[in-house]
A and B are shown apart, each in its own frame.
Chain A
Amino acid sequence: MEKQSDLLLDIQHLHTAYRLNGKFYDAADDVNITLKRDEILSVVGESGCGKSTIAASIIGLYDHKNTKVTGDILYNELNLVGLNESLFDKIRGNKIGMIFQDPLASLNPLMRVGDQVAETLYYHTDMNEKERHERVIELFNQVGMPKPEETYSMYPFELSGGLRQRIVIAMAIACKPEVIIADEPTTALDVTIQAQILDLLEDIQKQSHSGIILITHDLGVVAETADEVAVMYAGQVVEKADVKTIFNNPLHPYTRSLLNSMPQSDDTDEDLHVIHGTVPSLVNMPREGDRFADRIPWIPASAHEKEPVMHEVEPGHWVRCTCWKTFHFDDSEASGE
């Protein structure tokens, strides 16, 4: 049993619905996940599966007029759902840091990067201007900026993609947050830079004993960095386990299909596995039965639960629906259809 204080985020029955043409549609549908201290939790899934919706819900950054969030997001027993904006501003950037996908777009083009990092400190610490400057230089050293002093007064357009992402990371960790949410932090970067940034995130997590939610569609990134994995499909978590279990003993058909679609370096002559169909759009998403059923049509309907729920198949390993028991890949595909 973990101590209570090790639990940083406890997300229970999270529903996040967006208004489209006057109706609300759940983009995150009954999501239950937890984040512990010293843990990297990876949320994986295809585009449009609701990964970023979870990030936006946690940090409270969504269009309040057209989004409805219900359920509980408990951060140290404080419920972030429906939290007053001015209270939330004391948590954002201070207790919860956020790293975004596109490091150029995430930085204000008209502000010196050092000042952008210092802005976080201005709102959450009592430091004076000189102390803030020193702390920014310290952070730049920590995130591996080659020339911290010179970089302080540079503008985003003067820096490379990798360096910009380091600035964004410095901004997110400036106040030593307990929770860091990284939304596709390496997607916009070169492969070589990706590895450096992931190493940096791991270092930061080890030093600060924070918990990181790493949102990605890249299973390579998951394998390299994550401790726990939540696989999402169509707004729902379909499988949840530690990283070894996910890669060695995946059960849910979607997890297995995803892993099967991953290029393997040792077999170069075989075509990649393609998952039949596409993720349904928010409006067309099936709201009853197994949402993945349409994409594995060769599995008989009787194999799916009517109202699929999460089952704990072994300690700490949760799978939605029971169709995994009879799941097999489509044979016709192997014959090169």
Chain B
Amino acid sequence: MWKTVLRRVLIMIPQVIILSILIFFLAKMMPGDPFSGQINPNTDPKQLEALKRAAGLYDPIPVQYGRWVGNLFKGDLGTSYIQHVPVTSLIADRAVNTFWLALLTTTISYGISIPLGITAGRHQDEWQDQAVQIFNYVTFAVPPFVFYILGIWLFGFTLGWFPISGSVSPNASGFWGTLGSQIYHIILPACLVALITTTSIVQYLRTGIVDNKVEDYVRTAHSKGVPENVVFRKHILRNSLLPIASSFGTTITGLLSGSMIVESVFSYPGMGKLFLDSIGQRDYTTLTALILIFGILTLLGNLLSDIIMSIVDPRIRIK
């Protein structure tokens, strides 16, 4: 199994290199440079040229790429054009916020969808199944932003249960006070995102159970005299969880990359909001850094999925 993991990690290296080259050239093709924002009618063009030369913008492309990669290894992602702070520290703050939001979202999402999927699969075509299907249609069909705005209106304004923006209350003090306030701020967005991410998990699980129920090995288990509920748990459910296990890695990295819409709607300072803001402000350094991070996260997500699959499925583990 460790061989499989090692092989997968080694495959990732060329993938990351190709990704970085692509992103670098994309960044080069974008209009503007670090000094575009600082130009005013009084700027001496010659002085600007000198600044650009000093910054290495006239060096051959491969040299520039080498320097960029070298800086990446030193943890230097460049300086934001707009905010004039190192991108690394800009992202670090947001990443922590997004991480907590993603963690809570994932927990709630799987916490809701696995019982729902099991109920629907076990009671196929009965009223329980139909109720879950209706829930699924609603959460799948309603656009996320409508969902979020409705959530804010109902739980934020009307009932006033939860705060509707930000990541922490300015009045919070002390370690526990701050932590409590942070958790309080992410409950509503996390629940709303969790609700709309349940669809595929519920559907995978329901279909898996319905398909596996009629498999021959389930009949074999029954013919051995294994009680119904054990047949379900040990034989049907385990096999039905495979597709969910395989999508777990990508689901979690998808959430880590930031839920752009929810973070914007809730003005939550996370990666997704940073990404959207950077596009709006044409903050190319931040954008390239974020795209690179999202790309690497996607690769890591796939790796995580493969590792989980090789743990749960012997057919993948043993070659």
Contacts and interface: CB of A to CB of B under 8 A. Distances in A.
Contacts of B7: none
Nearest to A90: B225
Interface string A91-131: 11110011010100111111100000001100110000000
B216 A61 contact: no
Categorize the interface residue count of chain B: 20 to 34
A90 B225 CA distance: 6
Contacts of B318: 155, 158
B224 A120 contact: yes
Interface string B293-319: 000000000000000000011110010
Main secondary structure of the interface of B (DSSP, over half): helix
B282 interface: no
A110 B226 contact: no
Contacts of A109: 217, 239, 314-315
B227 interface: yes
Contacts of A157: 314-315
Contacts of A102: 216
B313 to A, nearest CB: 7
A234 interface: no
A61 B235 CA distance: 16
Contact of B225 (A110, A124, A158): A124
B217 A85 contact: no
Interface residues of A, number: 32
B223 A61 contact: yes
Contacts of B312: 110
Contact of B223 (A92, A105, A124): A92
Contacts of A326: none
Interface string A155-167: 1011000000000
B67 interface: no
Contacts of A284: none
Given A109-B239, A158-B318, A100 B224 contact: no
A110 B225 CA distance: 19
A157 B318 CA distance: 10
Contacts of B221: 108, 119
Contact of A61 (B217, B222, B238, B314): B222
A248 interface: no
A119 B221 CA distance: 9
B219 interface: yes
B188 to A, nearest CB: 39
A168 interface: yes
A242 interface: no
B228 interface: yes
Given A109-B239, A120-B224, A61 B219 contact: yes
A106 B224 CA distance: 12
B220 interface: yes
B49 interface: no
Contact of B224 (A86, A123, A158): A123
Interface string A64-96: 000000000000000000000110111111100
Contacts of A105: 215-217
B142 to A, nearest CB: 34
A28 interface: no
Contact of A106 (B220, B227, B228): B220
A107 B219 CA distance: 10
A123 B315 contact: no
Contact of B220 (A88, A110, A168): A168
A102 B217 CA distance: 10
A53 B270 CA distance: 61
B227 to A, nearest CB: 6
A171 interface: yes
B223 A98 contact: yes
Given A105-B216, A110-B312, A93 B223 contact: yes
8 contacts: A89-B225, A90-B225, A92-B223, A94-B225, A97-B223, A110-B239, A119-B224, A123-B224
Interface of A: 59, 61, 85-86, 88-94, 97-98, 100, 102, 105-111, 119-120, 123-124, 155, 157-158, 168, 171-172
Given A92-B223, A106-B217, A111-B234, 10 more contacts: A59-B223, A61-B219, A86-B227, A92-B222, A93-B224, A108-B217, A109-B239, A110-B312, A119-B224, A155-B314
